[in-house]
Structure 1
Amino acid sequence: MLRRSPPANIEAEQALLGALLTNNKAYERVSDFLIPAHFADPVNGRIYEAIARRIDRGSLADPITMRAEFEHSGVLDDVGGTSYLARLLGAMVGIVNAGDYGRAIHDAWIRRELIDIGETVVNNAYGTADGTDGTTQIGIAEETLFKLATDKGQDGGFVTFEQALTGALEVAELAYKRTGDVSGLTSGLRDFDKKTGGLHPSDLLILAGRPAMGKTALATKIAFSAARALQREAEDQNRKPSGAVAIFSLEMSSEQLATRILSEQAEVSGERIRRGDIGAREFDRFVRVSRELATLPLQIDDTPAISLSAMRTRCRRLKRTKGLSLVVVDYLQLMRPALGTRPDSRVLEISMITQGLKAIAKEFEVPVIALSQLSRQVESREDKRPMLSDLRESGSIEQDADAVMFVYRDEYYLQQRMPKDSAYDSMDKYQTAVEEWQRKMALVHNKAELILEKQRHGPTGTIPLYFEGEFTRFGDLDTHHDA
């Protein structure tokens, strides 16, 4: 059988190196996407690396300045010594073609990588010595292809402090140009954005609370606001949204979640929507708002008990097809760890999940908001405001998270303490107790607290919020009004 040679374009490699040695400005046309590993001929790759190193230092890289370095390193020994430089200069057609040479080299490298991935997939599919099943192999193959499509073959490693400072300056510039000092993605909550600067890439945020506190409603509010901000930014620049918001709803169906968002935006009670107890005018408003929201870059996955590996695969697909800007998980205790893992305890299992969610945030460079349940020990305290120790199966939740937030509504607990006439020996005492209860209820009515208990990159504290139970809607709480 004839064996085909892997794709390579040696002529383009030599022509590019000749162009670089003739005029170092040609490096600017390829430096943003081409690295030494992309060259099929290792010698050409090492020559490119040496040239790039000198240019990056601000030094001249030509046959004269490079000759001593090549003679000392012995890089050119296998190709005839420094006379190879003359061959490179002879192969150069014109420096204006440097960009085309670079793209041809990069394209050949991509095709060689695809062949290698294909061979690995075939070999893994034939043999099952490592115990991985077909579904897991699909995920591994997708991950490899995604990495090839996104990182251009540049492995992680050290960056200079100068590069790190450049990145920090870009973030500061973004915050300076945006209104409200928000450098990250907006949450739609003014006071939260002021305290955190918005939702930042690579951050894992834990939003926890007891049942009926409104965790899902608050997370949905943030996801919706972020999607709307992405849509408006795209409309202002006359383009498609640069990314989508992904909600993994393990507890509620996609229809229930959509109904909740529609209820909030159309200001029609979700309970009345389910019962069909709405008039023609309200239904028309409901339909009109649904049409407006239909184009939002919001994706919902309601797979129950989704595994960490499946979530990563779906995030990878979404990033490749529509872009990815935010991930919301409701909620992490309902997730399963990666396929093939069997943790010894529930605490270890949750620890693996939180570590995996943090890894997703870093891999895709997006903020991840994960909802979490709290233990029942909250209910046994007089002050039922949550603390970090209340995180259920906490393990490494607190450790892995960049921010931990608790949603708390005093109104919920106070409502349960409504006085009963049977507990009082006279109507006067009962009436007095009811009036005192009503006074306290008035103070906390429609009020909620977002307790920012941990924030790795900023201050902590309590953020007051407005909560409208009829529409399960959170918003900013304005305690002062202009006359």
Structure 2
Amino acid sequence: MTKELPNDVTIELAVIGTVINYPSKFNDIAKYIVSDGVWYDDKCKVLWSVLAGMIQRREHIDLMTISANLDAANIAMGVDNIFVVDCTQNSGTKSTAEIYAKKIYEKYLLRLVVESAKEIEKKAMDNKVNALDVLVTAHTSIGELISLRPDSSFDINEALGDAIESIRNTDKLLVKTGFADVDKFAGGLTRGEITIVGGRPGHGKSTMLLNLLSNILSQKRKVLLFNRELTNVEVLKKLLALESGRLSYGMIRQGIYDTKQLQELDRVRDYIAKKYSTDRFRMYDKIRDFPSSATEIKKFKPDVIFDDYIQLITPTGKEDQRRLQLERIVNDYKWIAKEYNCVVILASQLNRALETRGNPRPQLSDLAESGAIEQVAENVFFVYYPYKVPATAKPENKNELVLVAAKVRYGETGSVQMAYDGDKCKMYNNEDELFTPPLTEIQQDEIPF
């Protein structure tokens, strides 16, 4: 025998009767009626809709005016004068209005829990489904149910207090990039927001992400990195060159060292092990889909997430168009950023139209599936390396790199001239910094993490 879903029709009648007898209590009750599904009884659902329409139109509510608003369809399903009178006779009082409304809202939530549990059970019983996918679905479903709680009343003084507190503690809201001119665009990267870093192949997109990662870790933030393209081993080779400032990335890849370089390799290894400790840094290179990524995010709770790059994330939704798949991934990342109050930095490919355009400098329309990405992002930065463009590939351009800020939601767009040493995997604020000798071993070892 099929069990009846949780409900209490008697209390639903009492809530409807309360609105009829005490129309001033409508708003107190309405905040619990988050959807038509809150009503289990169809007649109560219809009469609530009629009453809500009358309130909206500022009509007087009594038995006569309600009767005048009932149409033939309402009466045919039993929402007639007798039903209206029945509701008033079972009415609650002014003091019980919210109590009763909350009761029927709780019954509604229990019905949703039952339906969600059935769906989760159905997925779990499918031997072909990934266990992590089921866990993420369950977590998401529970989170959505919790988010259905009634809206809190808005208090302007409380909201202003939060805003002033945010202004006073800007360092908690913003994460600095470590590049002075980049931070001038909007003061840094905002928690709860997404930043896109795009670039053509070979222009230093992934290297820019690693430089941002290194700078942010130096601020004692927790950082999570998803390597979709490179392996963790190759990323660590880049980090060895970047953090050393002396070792050549090319020599590291080829395994060519002398005694002095081997000593530097040992030193920088210890340095990285300390700076990138497991309590503050995690990276993964074998996670393909977003639900599995979200699982690691929820466990680690980072301040900043890096994903290199989003076009390589395997879609798991029902969308068949690549544009819709990418839109789903970016929107999911947006909700992750808000839920965990973190910064999300996503690397993105550019489309091939850039290669045939006269002006080689990237612009927003060059983002692969640009519409979905551009709308959600707080910032869109492009890494532009003129040395890799045939028309501007001159020896004197080898250390020049431009960061184009094509979109800055909370600041001004523009571009920044930076310096770049590809063999050191290192970005610099300017050429003066590029040609400044790296810190001595003693100085580096004294840096606290």
The equivalences for 1:53-452 within 5 A come to 73-74=95-96, 127-128=122-123, 133=129, 135=131, 136-143=133-140, 159-175=154-170, 184-230=174-220, 244-267=222-245, 268-295=247-274, 296=276, 297-303=280-286, 306-319=288-301, 324-337=302-315, 339=316, 341-414=317-390, 441-442=395-396, 444-452=397-405
Per-residue CA deviations over 1:256-275 (Å, capped at 9, x if unaligned) read: 11111111111211221122
Distance 1:76 1:406, change over 3 A: closer
The 2-side partners of 1:261 and 1:300 are apart by 13
Distance 1:372 1:155, change over 3 A: farther
The equivalences for 1:4-19 within 5 A come to none
The 2-side partners of 1:413 and 1:299 are apart by 34
**Amino acid across the alignment from 1:446:** N
**Amino acid across the alignment from 1:309:** P
Distance 1:156 1:255, change over 3 A: farther
TM-fit CA distance, 1:353: 1.4
Distance 1:265 1:139, change over 3 A: same
The 2-side partners of 1:367 and 1:355 are apart by 14
Distance 1:188 1:158, change over 3 A: farther
Distance 1:122 1:186, change over 3 A: same
Per-residue CA deviations over 1:242-285 (Å, capped at 9, x if unaligned) read: x5201111001111111111111112112211222111222211
Could you say which residue in structure 1 is the equivalent of 2:108? Answer: none
TM-fit CA distance, 1:168: 2.4
For the 8 Å contact 2:386–2:401, the answer to whether it is kept is yes
For the 8 Å contact 1:143–1:313, the answer to whether it is kept is no
3-state SS of paired residue (1:375): coil
Give 5+ residue unaligned stretches, structure 2.
1-92, 101-110, 436-449
Distance 1:128 1:467, change over 3 A: closer
Quote the RMSD (CA, aligned, Å).
Answer: 3.7
Q: TM-score, normalised by structure 1?
A: 0.60
For the 8 Å contact 2:124–2:134, the answer to whether it is kept is no
Distance 1:225 1:388, change over 3 A: same
Per-residue CA deviations over 1:50-99 (Å, capped at 9, x if unaligned) read: xxxxxxxxxxxxxxxxxxxxx95148999xxxxxxxxxxxxxxxxxxxxx
Distance 1:126 1:168, change over 3 A: closer
The 1-side partners of 2:99 and 2:182 are apart by 62
Structure 1 runs of 4+ off > 6 angstroms? 75-78, 116-125, 129-132, 144-148, 151-156
Identity fraction in percent? 25
Could you say which residue in structure 2 is the equivalent of 1:56? Answer: none
Q: TM-score, normalised by structure 2?
A: 0.65
TM-fit CA distance, 1:406: 0.6
Could you say which residue in structure 2 is the equivalent of 1:427? Answer: none
3-state SS of paired residue (1:370): strand
Distance 1:130 1:155, change over 3 A: farther
The 1-side partners of 2:160 and 2:256 are apart by 58
Distance 1:72 1:220, change over 3 A: same
3-state SS of paired residue (2:174): coil
The 1-side partners of 2:385 and 2:431 are apart by 17
